[in-house]
Structure 1
Amino acid sequence: DHHGRVARALGEGGLPALDIHTAEGAACLADTQWACHFALANREAIAARALDVLEDALGVAADPTSVVDVHHNHVAQEEHGGRLLWVHRKGAVGLQAGQRGLIPGSMGTASYVVEGRGEPRAFRSCSHGAGRVLTRAEARARIRPAALEHVLRRVVYDKGRAAALVEEAPAAYRDITEVLEDEADLVRPLLRLTPLAVLKG
């Protein structure tokens, strides 16, 4: 919010922006990098706790080489077309050719481990999920907790939070199979994952 206000105050034209060669722009980039590092540490902490529980319950050690970590909604400096650019991905992730990623469906539908194809026309990007067809407000207005409970009958989740979770109902998202078909030139599906349990913070 702070950097948005600064950009609106200093920016020129219809799209508020900050010049990275100014103190304000450098501060925005530094804070963005700090937030990305914090988010990575948070994901790693959650994964470590989840793996401890799973390893204990299943009696099997996790394979550390199978970790797939994908961040989204970030800014990174990358080379594209022989130029060094700042790339902002919103609703997308960057995957190099051969790099593994995860494209989630919804709480009640499949998600996929994918391999990036490194398509240069898409700046080596792909979607970071199925994508919404209903806004959160529309989902809350249209989807009843009983309908969510029915569609998630085979998934473990906190049923006491059903009223709050309707905004994440499968009906609020695009069909993940269609999404993968639409971006077949961006990623190759490797593994289909079906949800068994959902933890929504």
Structure 2
Amino acid sequence: MRERVSPRLRRALVIAGVVFRFLLFFGGLGFALWFAFIHFPDAWNPFVPPRIEDKPNMVTGLKLRGLTGEYDICVSVVRASGTKYRRDAIPSKSEGCGMPQGLTLEQSRISYGGGIQLTCPATAALLMWERHVVAPAAEEHLGSEVVRIRHYGTYACRNVNHSESGRRSGHARGDAIDIAGFDLADGRKVSVLK
């Protein structure tokens, strides 16, 4: 014959079960986060600055956005890539323009023909794009190395589409570059218009 469990004991057992599951779940979650934080590869750790040489992944965009407002950290990321640059502030009296903590790209693995003035995070993103998108795609699809990236410009205090009114372009903050095309090692020129 089955013994009856008192309602108080039953309630205590239910509460104990809920508390046990709660502790098990959050304890496991805490351990997993601790383990991930300690043993996570730097390329996947959102709290570690990006490396230009690391292959982009799900947290790369987050890491690049994290460089905004962290000028010295960002400059060290660009410096570690072997890129030659110059710290370059562009003050502006026009509202929405200027680049207080920018960089002028002097030499990268691929030539841009000069005139690259961007914010540091935009420079880091450009270098990652150059190394992990442009160079491999040119080799794979065109069978040649890119020796120059042609562009229409970077920093310019202007509105979107050069309109008289409206919002400022990303160029006004040094966050944009307009790519015109690519020159390949075998002499071919590739335009983004074709």
User: Under TM normalisation by the shorter chain, which class is it?
Assistant: under 0.3
Taking structure 2 as the reference length, the TM-score comes to: 0.27
Structure number with the bigger relative contact order (C-alpha 8 A, sep ≥ 6) is: 1
For the pair shown, the structure with the greater C-alpha radius of gyration is: 2
Taking structure 1 as the reference length, the TM-score comes to: 0.26
